[in-house]
Amino acid sequence: MRRIVILATALAVVVVVSSCRHDGRTLRDPPPGFSSVSISTTRTPDTDDQGFDTVAPEDTDQTFPPIEETDVVTAPWEDGAAMDARYTCEGLNVAPALSWTPAPLGTVEIAITLEDLDAPTFVHWIIAGISPNTVSLDEGTAPIGAYEATNGVGDVGYTGPCPPAGEEHLYLITVHYLAATTGLLDGVPGDELFSSIVTAEAATAEVTGTFSRGEG
């Protein structure tokens, strides 16, 4: 009986010593020649998991400008589409009705130009002196107080697309929001008024259209 008690006591001591050395809190010293390895538990961000970069930007104070409404011009045709002959030398040759985005703050005058991008030196239409509160023009009309340049055929005002027979040209109508007045009058040469408009513009809105004439 005494031998059983002694054996039981010895077994308990072994268990206690073993649990103190292998409970997960204390590690035994590595054997000679064993090199320790440092394991990082911080995962390096990458772009493989979700298809996007997971690295946080360093500059958290970065700000971005607000998204503003895009300035647009509405014409009797879709942007880039064919223009009705009504507004050309093969029709009534009248200026089309137009509407556009309201002028931005600080605009003092609105101007409108019609350019042939395939024959840019020819003046089709340049009008300025339009009130900054205006957002549309009726067909074939010029607002009170507005003034127009001399066009490529020698008249004051509008003359529509009229490319050589068999050719299709691309035309650009631009609404110019001016931060200063041009100070010019009716009948001014087209290049002079156009230069004053470009110098004073703060923003623009555009629409394009095409026109072609038959071979005759």
In tens, the pLDDT along 50-81 reads 443 334 344 444 433 333 456 799 999 999 99
Centroid of chain to Cα 201: 19
- The distance in angstroms from the start CA to the end CA of the chain is 131
Residues near 80 by beta carbon (within 8 Å), at least 6 away in sequence: 208, 209, 210
Q: Looking at residue 71, what is its pLDDT?
A: 78
pLDDT at 70: 64
Mean pLDDT of 85-98: 98
Query: What confidence category does residue 85 fall into, taking pLDDT thresholds of 50, 70 and 90?
Result: very high
Domain limits, the chain: 73-212
CA distance readout (Å), 85 to 22, 70, 88, 90, 210: 95, 29, 5, 6, 10
Residue type, 122: F
Cα dihedral 134, 140, 142, 148 sign: positive
pTM of the model: 0.68
Burial class from Cβ neighbours inside 10 Å (0-12, 13-18, 19+) for residue 87 reads: buried
Higher pLDDT, 152 or 25: 152
Q: Which two tokens stand for residue 92?
A: 């009534």
Q: In what order do the strands lie in the sheet with 147-148?
A: 147-148, 123-130, 109-116, 168-178, 201-212
3-state secondary structure of 4: helix
Mean per-residue pLDDT, 119-135: 97
Instruction: State how far the Cα of 216 lies from the Cα of 213, in Å rounded to an integer.
Output: 8
Nearest to 129 by CA among 114, 106, 142, 147: 147
Most confident residue range from 35-39, 55-59, 146-150: 146-150
**In whole angstroms, what is the distance from residue 88 CA to residue 37 CA?**
82
Mean pLDDT, range 35-42, rounded to an integer: 32
Mean pLDDT of the chain: 78
Between residues 1 and 197, which one has the greater pLDDT?
Answer: 197
Which one, of 122, 127, 182, 185, lies nearest residue 154 by Cα? 122
CATH architecture, domain 73-212: Alpha-Beta Complex (3.90)
CB 162 within 8 A of CB 139: no
Residue 22 confidence class, pLDDT cut points 50, 70, 90: very low
Considering only CA atoms, which of 123, 96, 94 is closest in space to residue 195? Answer: 123
Give 214's pLDDT tier (boundaries 50, 70, 90): confident
